[in-house]
Structure 1
């Protein structure tokens, strides 16, 4: 009895220690998750540029300038996005956004661009959205769509420096360029990553067309396969029917043979009698 009681106390003690360890692990895990969530929230709070589909070199692309409001006591009333002069874009068209007025500013180029066989002497320097009946309030964000082209072929990215203005006259400049191997700056500039050039220089549109063609070919192939399977099914049905008939005739022949043998045996016995 003494040994049994001691063993019971040891088991209870081990269970208590295990529960304590599990509790500590759970608390540590919760703190870690909270830290990750906090850091993620901070990282995603920056002004950013997000391509809608593919942004291929030498092609055209549609992108969204995503602007979150980072202040609890002020609203965003103005957003300015600047385009690089070393890789100028001849065409930048903003999509209308309700409650906002868009203005496109162009600048003269030191070296003209050639686009569709024509020389372009100026390129878009910046696009400015000003609140016109709307604002980006605390805890909200707004997307500003842009059509860009023709994208340069001699770079892997475009740095689009942005300036965000609040209704309390505070200005935040998202203009710091990130450096490889270094920590992310406090106010990083939005960066548009460019993918490899496509053959037709239409960016994501070519990919969509290819997918449509593939679907059409798959559908046609599926139709042919269905007809082939149907023909095979009919042929199989015919073969199955022939096999069944042959089997029935074979069974009937065997029965007839057995009947003949039996008849011969009976006839022999009668003659003997």
Structure 2
């Protein structure tokens, strides 16, 4: 009986030890989105930083944004009392007075627009405790592989409507346009119409000239006859 009791006691202690070691590994920083379609606008992300330290409280959370989301497109929606939001070059930080030991850090931000064409968004997060300890949740979770020890918070999205689906495409016509053979004749160039007002009256001047010539001849002839008559008389 005494041997059996010892076995049970050792087993119980070992079980508690295993659970104690497994406890911190279960803590994560998780993220969820209220809209899960790529390209969605005004999306609220809710982060939950699970407390894992038994000696210190969470003091701040620094998030590195994935490619396609600019810090300028992120605004704070909610954070623990007294915490503030600060944009950084590659993301943002929320932090302030350290939370009580064992209290999770929960905060929400609004994303102006999720990237188009992306279905897995990783938000690398550095969780700082009041004793100076920094837990880095920065390992990328790859699809189809085991979760890493310190996985970065991950949002899985559904594909958004493709450009081809929203913009009707015009299929090229299989019928070639009729070809126009080049004309061998020289191109006809329209010339300005000539003013016929002068050319249409030329015959009038000819008639006048003929009449004047006839009159002059007649006068000359009369004078010649008159002179001849005077000589004979």
Secondary structure, aligned partner of 1:129: strand
Q: Residues of 2 paired with 1:91 and 1:191: CA distance? A: 19
Structure with higher Rg: it is 2
Given the alignment, which residue of 49, 68, 87 partners 2:68? 87
* Cα displacement string for residues 204-250 of structure 1 (whole angstroms, at most 9, x for unaligned residues): xxxxxxxxxxxxxxxxxxxxxxxxxxxxxxxxxxxxxxxxxxxxxxx
Per the normalisation by structure 1, the TM-score is 0.47
1:56–1:194: 8 Å Cα contact kept in structure 2? yes
Q: Structure 1 or 2: larger helix share?
A: 1
Q: C-alpha root-mean-square deviation of aligned residues, in Å? A: 2.8
Q: Residues of 1 paired with 2:88 and 2:36: CA distance? A: 23
Matched, 1:65 2:28: no
Q: Residues of 1 paired with 2:87 and 2:160: CA distance? A: 27
What is the aligned residue count? 144
1:58–1:150: 8 Å Cα contact kept in structure 2? yes
Q: Residues of 1 paired with 2:30 and 2:69: CA distance? A: 19
Measure how far apart 1:153 and its partner are. Answer: 1.4
| Unaligned residue ranges in structure 2 (runs of 5+) | 1-14, 163-233
Which residue is equivalent to 1:144? 107
Measure how far apart 1:57 and its partner are. Answer: 1.2
Segments of 4+ in structure 1 off by > 3 A?
A: 41-44
1:68–1:136: 8 Å Cα contact kept in structure 2? no
Q: Residues of 2 paired with 1:193 and 1:47: CA distance? A: 15
Per the normalisation by structure 2, the TM-score is 0.54
Q: Residues of 2 paired with 1:193 and 1:76: CA distance? A: 26
Which residue is equivalent to 1:25? none
Which residue is equivalent to 1:235? none
Which residue is equivalent to 1:160? 123
* Cα displacement string for residues 9-62 of structure 1 (whole angstroms, at most 9, x for unaligned residues): xxxxxxxxxxxxxxxxxxxxxx9xxx99x97x66752011111x3222111210
Which residue is equivalent to 1:45? 27
2:78–2:109: 8 Å Cα contact kept in structure 1? no
Which residue is equivalent to 1:126? 91
